[in-house]
Amino acid sequence: MLYVAHERIRKNTFLLLLVFLPLTVVAQQASITLDTGRVIGQIDPMIYGVFMEPIGRGTRQHQFNTVYGNLYDPGSPYANKDGFDKRYIDAAKELKVTNMRWPGGNYTADYHWMDGIGPKDKRPVLRDLAWGYIDSNRVGTDEWVALNKAIGSKNVVCINAGTGTLDEAAHWVEYCDLEPDSYYPGLRAKYGHPRPYDIKLWDLGNEVDGSPWIIGHKDAEDYIKFATEAAKIMLDADHSLKFVISGSAYYAPDGKWVDWNRKVITGLRNIASYVSIHGYWENSRDYYKYIGEGAMDVDRKITTTADIISTIRSKYRMSKPIYISFDEWAAFGRGLLPTLAMAEYFNDFIRHANVVKMTNYTMMTSLMSRDSLGHLYKAPDFYTFKLFSNNCRGISINPLVQCDTFSTSPYYQGIPYLDVTSVYNRETNSLVINVVNRHEHKAAATEIISNSGDLSGQASVTVINSDDINAPFTYAQRKDYVPVSKDIRITGNKFIYSFPAHSFTQIMVKIR
């Protein structure tokens, strides 16, 4: 059974596992030192974004995938006026989702946006070449924009860099952003949307280097030519656009992904506002491989790409920044482990807040759990996302962490058991401390020290954990997944706290 902080109050072991205890009780001993002057960078709220793409099964008679029959289901009693499930919309609002990347994904490499506008019963029903299912095109540009409006999030639109053409991309911008005084924006007005959508963030393709899977794969030189011309003609329609260029998604051991990023960032440096990174955490039966190697891979992708950006900006004396958009990420598996991985992902994004300025979780629908009977409920993944998106807004500061480490192979050495980030909010003069204890069996008694003054005397602690890390989440246990914070007393500028094994903990405390 999964437990959170308030459930430990009911147990005699609460003081042992959650609050103050002698350092001799547990094998792990650690320290975290916080200093608000050790600034990494401002956390961009755009890191709390989601990604949506129709993936799954479908026929002419019946469709059910990540979008159809799930997020979009006009026949459902939960559907809003646009056909979207209000439960997902309410969840996204609760999570304070800032942006949504659509319509894909691999799907975009053969997606032609004009198939998805106009009367729904006249839109072509086609076979999606990326995933092989029947696509009704009932969810197109106007529907995606309506969904984002309902949520209060920004649109991030990915163009077709596979089978798509330059003028198709430009006309899409016209349809979305121009006054209805020419053909394409006139169509938008004709279909009931006279006011421009004012979409400013556009992806210049998706995973273009993915030769084994992507439709219309290009080498770096051809992609640079395509993206340069696409940006040129799209900017002719709207001069205020910002572009995400397609960083490598083909992370083969030969290291060619680094060469791709170096080439495309160099070649597209004058048009790129962001370069994309994608990263999926593969399932593993080995606990430490799962919990350690995935996080190290994410960190190395970010640091390697950030170093390339820094070198290119220095070489060409660029004043314009180029940031990272980690616009597809998720961890596979079941039970608690993907939840801990989500916390590690967010820790990596916060740790690199100076360069990671936008991210998109795959998929928005995955933040809610659905059982075989169609019950929709909030699982620990939802609450982990919420703890970050609601509370971690401000300045990322660099904590000094001393703890034990582990290794899983010669390549993955010295992985710290405690994965720690901290966020400082100047307005409230408060700190948020995010800690994943990666140890499978041992708690970590940790001295937490503030070098920026005494703490307020009280801290709020929320823990997400489970007695059985492999147990699947269930609708019947949904009430057990709701975290409740516990207040603890603090004296002076330091305190000792024990982080339970295989757990995510968030501590919120004010500085006096």
Interatomic CA distance for residues 173 and 178, integer angstroms:
8
Read off the tokens for 383. 């609450």
C-alpha separations of 221 from 30, 31, 265 in Å: 49, 49, 11
pLDDT of residue 332: 92
End-to-end CA distance of the chain: 38
Interatomic CA distance for residues 193 and 492, integer angstroms:
59
Q: Provide the pairing of β-strand 395-397 with 39-42.
A: antiparallel
Q: Which residues neighbour 214 within 8 Å (Cβ) at sequence distance 6 or greater?
A: 106, 109, 162, 206, 207, 208
Burial state string for 253-277 with b = 16 or more CB within 10 A and e = fewer than 16: eeeebbebbbbbbebbbebbbbbbb
Q: Which residue(s) pair with 171 in the sheet?
A: none
pLDDT of residue 24: 35
With CA atoms as reference, report the closest residue to 453 among 400, 494, 396. Answer: 494
Going residue by residue through the chain, which has 512 residues, state the pLDDT in tens, using 9 for 90 and above: 333 333 332 223 223 333 333 333 445 899 999 999 999 999 999 999 999 999 976 555 456 789 999 999 999 999 999 999 999 999 999 999 999 999 999 999 999 999 999 999 999 999 999 998 899 999 999 999 999 999 999 999 999 999 999 999 999 999 999 999 999 999 999 999 999 999 999 999 999 999 999 999 999 999 999 999 999 999 999 999 999 999 999 999 999 999 999 999 999 999 999 999 999 998 888 999 999 999 999 999 999 999 999 999 999 999 999 999 999 999 999 899 999 999 999 999 999 999 999 999 999 999 999 888 888 999 999 999 999 999 999 999 999 999 999 999 999 999 999 999 999 999 999 999 999 999 999 999 999 999 999 999 899 999 999 989 999 999 999 998 988 889 999 999 999 999 999 999 999 999 98
With CA atoms as reference, report the closest residue to 190 among 113, 117, 137. Answer: 117
DSSP assignment of 461-490: EEEEEESSTTPPP-GGGGGGG----EEEE-
pLDDT of residue 484: 81
User: Does residue 397 contact residue 452 with C-beta atoms inside 8 Å?
Assistant: no
Read off the tokens for 237. 């329609």
Q: What is the CATH number of domain 2-42+397-511?
A: 2.60.40.1180
CATH topology of domain 48-156+208-229+244-367: TIM Barrel (3.20.20)
Q: Provide the pairing of β-strand 323-331 with 405-406.
A: unpaired
Query: Which element (helix H / strand E) includes 134?
Result: strand 134-135
Read off the tokens for 394. 């401000």
Q: Which residue(s) pair with 276 in the sheet?
A: 325
Helix (H, G, I), strand (E, B) or coil at 423: strand
Angle subtended at Cα 156 by Cα 72 and Cα 256, rounded to the nearest 5 degrees: 115
Q: Provide the pairing of β-strand 418-425 with 272-281.
A: unpaired
Q: Where are the domains of the chain?
A: 2-42+397-511, 48-156+208-229+244-367
Helix (H, G, I), strand (E, B) or coil at 146: helix
Helix (H, G, I), strand (E, B) or coil at 314: helix
Q: Which residues neighbour 161 within 8 Å (Cβ) at sequence distance 6 or greater?
A: 108, 109, 204, 205, 206, 208, 216, 218, 223, 226, 227, 230, 246
HEC states along 348-374?
HHHHCCCCEEEEEEECHHHHCEECCCC
Q: The whole model's pTM is what? A: 0.93
Read off the tokens for 176. 């979305």
pLDDT of residue 27: 57
pLDDT of residue 12: 30
- Domain 2-42+397-511 matches domain 48-156+208-229+244-367 at the CATH topology level: no
- Amino acid identity of residue 107, one-letter, is Y
Read off the tokens for 157. 């639109």
Angle subtended at Cα 15 by Cα 10 and Cα 17, rounded to the nearest 5 degrees: 95
pLDDT of residue 18: 35
Read off the tokens for 136. 């009704």
pLDDT of residue 7: 31
C-alpha separations of 96 from 18, 164, 186, 496, 509 in Å: 29, 33, 33, 32, 22
User: Does residue 305 contact residue 277 with C-beta atoms inside 8 Å?
Assistant: yes
HEC states along 105-119?
CHHHHHCCHHHHCCC
Interatomic CA distance for residues 149 and 84, integer angstroms:
12
Interatomic CA distance for residues 464 and 475, integer angstroms:
17
For the chain, the helix, strand and coil percentages under 3-state DSSP, each to the nearest 5? 30, 30, 40
Interatomic CA distance for residues 64 and 277, integer angstroms:
28
With CA atoms as reference, report the closest residue to 97 among 301, 368, 463, 334. Answer: 368
pLDDT of residue 63: 65
Query: Which element (helix H / strand E) includes 395?
Result: strand 395-397
Which residue's entry shows tokens 């960032």? 265
DSSP class of 491: B
